[in-house]
Every structure is written in C-alpha cells, then in structure tokens.
C-alpha cells in the first residue's frame, strides 16, 4: 500500500471514531414504543422565535429529513372552513393544515421507515376538527394508522410493526396541557383541586385557552359552549392518547396507550422529587417533554436529565442550532439516524436506581490520546486573519455523576498540522447514557476562545484504535479536511 493509499484508508468511514455499523439501523426494533427514545420536535412549523416570525411548511420537511419522528401541529380555526397552523395569540404567520399534511406525506419516510407521530394541539371548532379528520384520511391514505386498539392488547406496538405508518396524538383544552398556569411544585392533592376548578370553569362555559408563562397570567376567552371533540377526529387517535398527569400513583391506573406531556419545569420537579418513580413510569408509558413558555426565543433545554429517567419524546426547537440540539442529534446518530434509539436495558425494565451508583457494574474507562490535528480552520472558517493557537477539549455529558471535561495544552501558531500527543482519561459510570464531545478552540489571551470545530457521538458508538474525527461547524456541516487524529481505548 502506498503512503497516499494508507492516508485514504485512515480517513475513510471505516476508520472514523464513530462505529461504522451504527450508521445504519442495528438495534432491535421489535420492542414496545415505550422502550425507545424518539426524536421529537417542538412547534415544528416555526422558523424563528415563539412570538413572531414566519411559520413554514419547510420546518416539517427539514425535521423529517433530519430523522425527526414526532412533529407538533398547533391547529386553529381558519378562514373558508380550512384549519390553519400557527402559534396561537402571537404574531407568527399562519399556514394551512392541509398543506402541512401533504408535505408530511411526501417526506415522512425518506430518511426513516419507522413511524411518525403527529402531535396535534387542537384548538379547532367541531366543524374544523371534522375537516382536519377528512384531510388526514384523504391525504395520508394507507399511511394513516387508525385501527382501534384491540381488547387483548396490553403493551404498545413496536416501531417495526408500525413501519411506514403515521399515528395521531391529540392535545386539546379538555386534556389540560398548556391551558392552566403551571405549578411544578404542586402535590397530587393540589393537582386534583386544580382539575376540579377547571371542571367548574368548563361548566360555567369559561375556557382557559392560553397561558403566558413569561407574564405569569392567564388569558381567558369566553365560549358559548365547553370544548367539544369531533368523533371522526377523535377516532383517529389510537396508541398515543393524551391524558392529564396527576402524579405517578394515579398514572398506574392508565391504559397502556395513554400518555402525558409535561413542560421541562414540571418534569424537572418530578425528577427532583420522585426520580425512581419517573423511571418506573417510563418503562410502560410514553412521556413527552416540551420547552417552558419562557423560551420565547426558541432556545433549547438540555435533554439529558429527561433521557436519564427514560422519557421518550423530548421535544426540542429544531430551528435553533445550539449546543443542546447538537447533543440531541449526536444521540440519535446511534441507530442509523432513524429517529428511534433503544433505551438502556435498566431503563426498560425499571431496575435502575438513580440514587444508588455504588459498586456500579456499568463503569468503563475511556482513554483518548490526542495525537494531532489536520487543517484546523480559522474562526468562522475565514481565509484571512491570524494563525490559530488550537487546543482540544473533551467533555463527557450524560448522568450528572459522569459530567467531566479535560483539555490538552495549546499549540502556538499552527492550525495546519498541530501535534499534541497528550492522553486524557475519563471514568464513566453510566456509559449507556453518555455522549462524548470533542471541541477544538483557538486560545486567546485577550478575548474569547473561539470554537473552530467540534464533534459529538454517543459513548457506545466510539470505536477503539487509531481513529480520525471529522470536525463539523456550528450548523452540523462537515468542515472539509478538518480532522483530529486520536487513539482510543475503552476498558
């Protein structure tokens, strides 16, 4: 083999640090839906912030092509008896529900054959709900899964059994999501009392239809009748039926296909107060976590705490390329980017006790020798400017006990071929939950250390031996020729 041929081999996909076999679906896809992390989007139609800006069909197309399997549609009454999608009571623009469904049908299974869930936040009148049902049936055709749940069924179906199917999940004022002031510290008794108050409001024909967390007040809209659900529309809901969450004890009585949506604030409170119960709950039931209302700029929250207790549908703002979306997409690369990743076995059987990690049998040691870099770009991939002084940082994210960050020394004035030959070692207690992030930065004495490139992957996708890491930019695009050369061992 020639030197150039050997170089090509080292830079080939088979010698990448990311396990080549994980680029395609390799996990068992025959387990219940509740056993998987499912790639999910929040307010998928938005292209900018939550209060103003454009709503676009492109949001759905981009999300689907990036492997997203759960899309959100906020449906409202529109003109000419045509439902529209937009963020209610804001200055965001409106798009037709019909057009969105057509785009979803066209793109639903281009990047993945596994089921798509449409989380429809329903604010429509009975008449326009019926129109939505007709659009879903007529446009989606055989893709739409609306077979009633069988009386002999007791567990959710698998992604494999629902391949190339689209499921409907409906949220409405009657379900109690986003329609009352959040109180993440409420006890079960307080939640019951709140539910009673809402029932009284419904009887008095007053409906809370929007809660603005940023101003901590309720907007009330008078209705001539309490909220009603069209039968044709409700009949389309099968394995993902939304219900109110009133505590884990009451949730034990749910049917296996029922689920709840919690804001990140509510879910974090449940983690802090009942982490073990949360883990047990998610072994059987789906849970969807969405951003709190204060994130009007469409910033994202860390999905890690919610993945750590087994939450399946952690919904992020796909239009915002921040560090949390970066970790998110790294996580879902594990299984061919198909939108479904099998949860660790201890989160599927409920055996994980988050409070007891003594004598942890899952512990592994990751040792990375950072040898050199190649073609490290200037900040922003500029072609002019000072020569960079690069260093490499490696960070382990996942369970809080594993949070750790180490870095190499700085190589002065060399972005073309910096050499470090430094070894960094990490003890990882929960490798099945860990994501490892490699970042190259430019050392600056007077100002900010600019990020020059990065790469993230799940711990379980790391391949041992001499490997190359192909760096990407802030928009997750590969930086041509920019790599790190490392040697990896895992014990």
What is the structure's pLDDT at 357?
63
Tokens of 28: 């068992």
Q: Hunting for tokens 């073990």 — which residue is that?
A: 276
Would strands 70-76 and 36-38 be described as parallel, antiparallel, or unpaired?
A: unpaired
Phi and psi, residue 107, nearest 5°: -115, 0
* CA distances, 155 to each of 181, 237, 285 (Å): 33, 16, 9
Which of 33-47, 182-196, 199-213 has the lowest average pLDDT? 199-213
Q: Mean pLDDT score of the chain, rounded to an integer? A: 89
87 is catalytic: yes
Q: Which one is catalytic: 22, 87, 123, 470? A: 87
* pLDDT tens digits, 370-410: 999 999 999 888 878 889 999 999 999 999 999 999 999 99
Q: Which one is catalytic: 22, 35, 42, 281? A: 42
What is the structure's pLDDT at 174?
60
Please compute the mean of the pLDDT values over residues 412-441 and round it to a whole number: 97
375 is catalytic: no
Tell me, letter by letter, the H, E, C secondary structure of the chain.
Answer: CCHHHHHHHHCCHHHECECHHHHCCCCCCCCCHHHEEECEECCCCECCCCCEECECCHHHHHHHHCCCCEEEEEEECCHHHCCEECCCCCEECCEEHHHHHHHHHHHCCCCCCCCEEEEEEECCCHHHHHHHHHHHHHHHHHHECCCCCCCCCCCCCCCCCCCCCEEEEEECHHHCCCCCCCCCCCCHHHHHHHHHHHHHHHHCCEEEEEEECCCCEEEEEECCCCCCCCHHHHCCECCCEECCCCCHHHHCCCCCCEEEEEEHHHHHHHHHHHHHHHHHHHCCCCEEEECCCCCCCCCCCCCHHHHCCCCCEEEECCCCCCHHHHHHHHHHHHHCCCCEEECCHHHHCCCCCCCCCCCCCCCEEEEEEEEEEECCCCHHHCCCCCCCCEEEEEEEECCHHHCEEEECCCCCCCCCCCEEEEEEEEEECCHHHCEEEEEEEECCCCCCCEEEEEEEEEHHHECCEEEEEEEECCCCCEEEEEEEEEEEEEC
What is the structure's pLDDT at 231?
94
* pLDDT tens digits, 314-372: 999 999 999 999 999 999 999 999 999 999 999 999 788 766 665 567 899 999 999 99
151 Cβ contact partners less than 8 Å away, ≥ 6 residues apart: none
* CA distances, 302 to each of 268, 337, 422 (Å): 11, 19, 30
pTM: 0.88
């Amino acid at each position: 083999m020639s030197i150039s041929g050997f170089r090509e081999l080292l830079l080939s996909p088979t010698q990448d640090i990311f396990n080549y076999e994980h680029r395609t679906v390799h996990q068992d896809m025959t387990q219940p839906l509740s056993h998987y992390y499912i790639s999910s989007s929040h307010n998928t139609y938005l292209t900018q912030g939550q209060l103003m800006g454009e709503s676009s069909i492109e949001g759905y197309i981009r999300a689907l092509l990036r492997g997203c399997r759960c899309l959100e549609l906020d449906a409202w009454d529109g003109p000419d008896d045509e439902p529209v999608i937009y963020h209610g009571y804001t200055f965001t623009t409106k798009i037709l529900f019909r057009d969105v469904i057509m785009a979803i049908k066209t793109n639903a299974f281009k990047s993945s054959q596994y089921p798509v869930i449409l989380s429809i936040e329903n604010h429509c009148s009975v008449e326009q709900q019926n129109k939505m049902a007709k659009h879903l049936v007529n446009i989606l055709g055989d893709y739409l899964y609306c077979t009633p749940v069988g009386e002999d069924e007791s567990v959710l179906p698998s992604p494999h059994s629902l391949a190339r199917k689209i499921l409907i999940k409906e949220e409405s004022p009657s379900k109690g999501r986003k329609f009352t002031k959040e109180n993440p510290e409420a006890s079960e008794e307080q939640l019951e009392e709140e539910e009673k108050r809402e029932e009284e409001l419904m009887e008095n024909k007053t409906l809370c239809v929007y809660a603005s967390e940023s101003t901590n007040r309720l907007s009330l809209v008078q209705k001539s009748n309490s909220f009603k659900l069209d039968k044709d529309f409700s009949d389309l809901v099968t394995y993902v039926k939304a219900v109110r969450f009133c505590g884990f004890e009451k949730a034990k009585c749910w049917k296996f296909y029922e689920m709840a949506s919690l804001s990140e604030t509510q879910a974090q409170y449940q983690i802090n107060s009942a982490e073990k119960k949360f883990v047990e709950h998610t072994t059987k039931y789906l849970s969807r976590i969405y951003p709190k209302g204060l994130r009007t700029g469409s910033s994202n929250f860390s999905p890690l705490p919610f993945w750590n207790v087994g939450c399946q549908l952690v919904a992020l703002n796909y239009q915002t390329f921040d560090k949390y979306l970066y970790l998110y997409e790294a996580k879902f690369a594990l299984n061919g980017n198909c939108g479904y990743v099998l949860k660790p076995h201890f989160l599927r059987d409920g055996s994980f006790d988050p409070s007891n990690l003594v004598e942890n049998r899952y512990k592994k040691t990751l040792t990375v020798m950072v040898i050199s870099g190649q073609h490290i770009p200037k900040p922003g991939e500029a072609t002019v400017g000072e020569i960079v002084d690069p260093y490499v940082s490696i960070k382990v994210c996942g369970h809080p006990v594993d949070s750790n960050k180490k870095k190499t020394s700085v190589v002065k004035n060399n972005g073309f071929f910096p050499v470090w030959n430094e070894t960094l070692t990490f003890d990882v207690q929960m490798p099945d939950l860990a994501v490892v992030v490699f970042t190259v930065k430019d050392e600056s004495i007077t100002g900010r250390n600019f990020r020059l490139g990065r790469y993230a992957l799940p711990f379980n996708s790391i391949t041992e031996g001499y490997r190359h890491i192909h760096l990407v930019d802030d928009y997750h695009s590969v930086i041509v020729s920019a790599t790190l050369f490392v040697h990896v061992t895992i014990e």
